[in-house]
Amino acid sequence: MHSTTLIILAVIVFLIVYTAMKRRGGAGVRSIPASQLEEAMKSKNGKSFLDVREPGEYRGGHVAGMKNLPLSQLSSRLSEVPKDHEVYVMCRSGHRSMQAANILKKAGYVNVINVSGGISAWHGPIKK
């Protein structure tokens, strides 16, 4: 192969990988482990805490202080989330919360934090 062909192939591979990573999301979204959520919740001033699981999951057990705002309803209920707050987002495992974080970022929210591992990684008390 010629060096020009290798360069073109390298550029194509880079573009494919770059596009795939952009589609996965997470750009500009900070993540914290569930173990750091308790510390973040000690001071609630200027912060919002969202559990984006469905209502039945939330009723089955949630972290006290988390507002249930299901991912399926988030886009139509953005007015319930102050834009000037740090917004912490949690779900069962961290996948839906990352989707929610990306929705928030696209809607103009600046300080969005995903709780990686979600409630599955939470070791604190669970409220029912």
Catalytic residues, by residue number, are 91
Residue the block writes with tokens 């939330």: 58
The strands making up 67-68's β-sheet, listed across from edge to edge, are: 30-33, 112-116, 86-90, 47-51, 67-68
Beta-carbon-side half-sphere exposure of residue 9 (alpha carbons within 13 Å)? 6
Torsion of CA 70, 76, 77, 78, to 10 degrees: 110
